[in-house]
């Protein structure tokens, strides 16, 4: 009686994965080594060769079924390792073949479909839940962030006016760009929603004698920002508070929010813009700086949601605008920053890798692998997928700002010329706004 041949788990898992990869990878040069040592080459041989090894059948099976979560988990666990090139190089090959639409194999599409169905449940960011989500990311060791951020601790997309800019120069340019779009004048009251480590609030206070209230849910960032204000003698003009934006009652001349809207969740867009409209004075201006997607609405990447930004969501512009329109705010300008964040993340990734040993000492090897994948995948998503940054300028009337955009470049030029060495000391020279400071206003009406 003949004995039927039974496939081992290794053959079953790798056969499935090999079939999928062979269909997807048409361009580039990729080799994958299986758990049994067998290597298969994919692509047309163009570009730098990339070689990855999958060490266990379980990892191969998981990656075949749900690559958006299983691949980074295997990389974190050391069951997916790079033999030639690094994880960024691997993602370049993968994303270049997937295209902007991010086509997935059938099984993976089904999983992504379920995730999209339940995405609103994943974004119920009540005040308590929002605080816990912030804690999981932004209350990590401050030393970790210092390993890869610039000295001002700007943890958002920089603005590369020139391709040869350093990270610090591009982050300074970002602050100039935001101040110009806010149409800052001396002595205004400013609300910074999601104030981070305080760099932008301190910049506006120093350059425009602004009275700034920065609100955050991160205890680590609040502590650092408050101490920074004290060290540079701005504690009477810049106040950082542990408050949810939904609890604010004050009114402000200017509102700015950078890198916070991604944590609001699509369920809460109406609340966000309605509250912003209430807090903004009738002749005020608001600028919202947020990651977005140039394609249609989608879901939060499974790895990012589970390990990096729980409760986070990156919106399409079509999801944001209805809430803006219903709030009564007027859209006066929209700018789409395309490759600026890819370049920012490139700097962060390189700086992190240069200090990777210290990251392992602060946490452990698995955490360092997780962070390495996060930075590489984020850069790849901005460079080869559909992620961008939206800057929305909003007012309550259509006559608040100049009717041509020349004032933005003029304000940036004035700030550039007025810039002094980054001593951190408050400047006593004339402000770019060109007028003497008004009587101090608390920003609370």
Q: Which of 95-99, 244-248, 346-350 has the lowest mean pLDDT?
A: 95-99
| Distance (Å, whole) CA 94 – CA 63 | 13
Are both 357 and 242 inside the same structural domain?
A: yes
Prediction pTM value: 0.86
Give the other-Cβ count within 10 Å of 437's Cβ: 14
Percent of the chain having pLDDT more than 70? 82
Per-residue confidence band for 442, with pLDDT thresholds at 50, 70 and 90: very low
Q: 216 - beta bridge partners?
A: 242
Domain hosting 18: range is 9-117
pLDDT for the residue numbered 125 = 52
Per-residue confidence band for 131, with pLDDT thresholds at 50, 70 and 90: low
Per-residue confidence band for 139, with pLDDT thresholds at 50, 70 and 90: confident
Are both 397 and 252 inside the same structural domain?
A: yes
pLDDT for the residue numbered 397 = 96
**Which pair of structure tokens corresponds to residue 212?**
């700034």
pLDDT for the residue numbered 427 = 41
Residue 434 has pLDDT above 70, yes or no: no
Percent of the chain having pLDDT more than 90? 73
Q: Kindly report the CA angle at 423 between 422 and 429, in degrees rounded to 5? A: 85
Are both 230 and 158 inside the same structural domain?
A: yes
End-to-end Cα spacing for the chain = 91
**Count of domains in the chain?**
2
**What is the tens place of the pLDDT at every residue in 226-270?**
999 999 999 999 999 999 999 999 999 999 999 999 999 888 999
Are both 95 and 144 inside the same structural domain?
A: no
Which of 86, 117, 148 is at the close of a domain?
Answer: 117
CATH of the domain at 284: 3.40.50.150
Decide if 437 is inside a domain.
Answer: no
Are both 328 and 364 inside the same structural domain?
A: yes
Helix (H) or strand (E) holding 256: strand 252-258
Residue 66 has pLDDT above 80, yes or no: yes
Taking residues 20-45, report their average pLDDT.
92
CA torsion, ordered 35, 37, 42, 45, to nearest 10 deg: 140
Are both 132 and 207 inside the same structural domain?
A: yes
How do 387-395 and 280-293 pair as beta strands?
A: antiparallel
Per-residue confidence band for 9, with pLDDT thresholds at 50, 70 and 90: very low
Q: Which of 229-233, 293-297, 298-302, 382-386 has the lowest mean pLDDT?
A: 298-302
Taking residues 393-417, report their average pLDDT.
97
Residue listed under structure tokens 């692509």: 43
Are both 191 and 105 inside the same structural domain?
A: no
Decide if 140 is inside a domain.
Answer: yes
Residue 404 has pLDDT above 90, yes or no: yes
pLDDT for the residue numbered 248 = 96
Give the other-Cβ count within 10 Å of 95's Cβ: 17
Are both 87 and 35 inside the same structural domain?
A: yes
**Which pair of structure tokens corresponds to residue 48?**
């730098």
Q: Which of 85-99, 163-177, 246-260, 279-293 has the lowest mean pLDDT?
A: 85-99
Per-residue confidence band for 17, with pLDDT thresholds at 50, 70 and 90: confident
pLDDT for the residue numbered 168 = 98
Which of 85, 117, 149 is at the close of a domain?
Answer: 117
Is residue 344 within 8 Å of residue 154, measured between CB atoms?
no
Are both 364 and 411 inside the same structural domain?
A: yes
Q: Average pLDDT of the chain?
A: 87
């Amino acid at each position: 009686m003949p004995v039927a041949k039974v496939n081992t788990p290794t053959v079953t898992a790798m056969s499935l994965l090999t079939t999928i990869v062979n269909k997807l990878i048409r361009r580039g040069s990729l080799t994958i080594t299986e758990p049994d040592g067998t290597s298969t080459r994919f692509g047309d041989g163009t570009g730098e060769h990339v070689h990855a090894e999958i060490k266990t059948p379980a990892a191969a099976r998981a990656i075949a079924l749900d690559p958006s979560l299983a691949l980074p988990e295997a990389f974190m666990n050391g069951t997916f390792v790079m033999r030639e090139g690094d994880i960024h190089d691997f993602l370049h090959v993968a994303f270049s073949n997937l295209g902007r639409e991010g086509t997935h194999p059938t099984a993976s599409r089904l999983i992504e479909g379920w995730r999209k169905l339940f995405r609103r449940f994943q974004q119920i960011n009540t005040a308590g839940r929002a605080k816990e989500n912030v804690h999981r990311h932004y209350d990590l060791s401050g030393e970790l962030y210092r390993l890869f951020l610039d000295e001002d601790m700007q943890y958002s997309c920089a603005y590369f006016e020139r391709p040869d800019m350093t990270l610090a120069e591009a982050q300074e340019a970002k602050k100039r760009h935001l101040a110009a779009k806010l149409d800052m004048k001396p002595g205004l009251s400013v609300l910074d929603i999601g104030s981070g480590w305080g760099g932008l609030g301190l910049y506006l206070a120093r350059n425009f004698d602004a009275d700034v209230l920065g609100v955050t849910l991160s205890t680590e960032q609040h502590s650092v920002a408050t101490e920074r204000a004290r060290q540079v003698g701005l504690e009477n003009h810049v106040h950082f508070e542990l408050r949810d934006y939904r609890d604010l009652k004050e009114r402000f001349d200017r509102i700015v929010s950078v890198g916070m809207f991604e944590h609001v969740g699509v369920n809460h867009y109406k609340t966000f813009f309605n509250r912003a409209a209430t807090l903004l004075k009738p002749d005020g201006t608001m600028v919202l700086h947020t990651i977005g997607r140039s394609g249609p609405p989608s879901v939060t990447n499974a790895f990012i949601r589970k390990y990096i930004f729980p409760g986070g969501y990156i919106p399409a512009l079509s999801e944001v605008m209805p809430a803006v329109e219903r709030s009564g705010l007027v859209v006066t300008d929209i700018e789409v920053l395309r490759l600026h964040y890819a370049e920012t993340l490139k700097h962060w990734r390189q700086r992190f890798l240069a200090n990777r040993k210290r990251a392992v000492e602060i946490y452990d090897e698995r955490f360092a692998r997780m962070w390495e994948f996060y930075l590489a995948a984020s850069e790849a998503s901005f460079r080869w997928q559909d992620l961008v940054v939206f800057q929305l300028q909003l007012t309550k009337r259509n006559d608040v700002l100049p009717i041509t955009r020349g004032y933005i470049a003029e304000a940036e030029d004035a700030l550039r010329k007025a810039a002094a060495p980054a001593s951190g000391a408050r400047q006593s020279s004339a402000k770019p706004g060109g007028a003497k400071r008004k009587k101090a206003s608390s920003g609370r009406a």
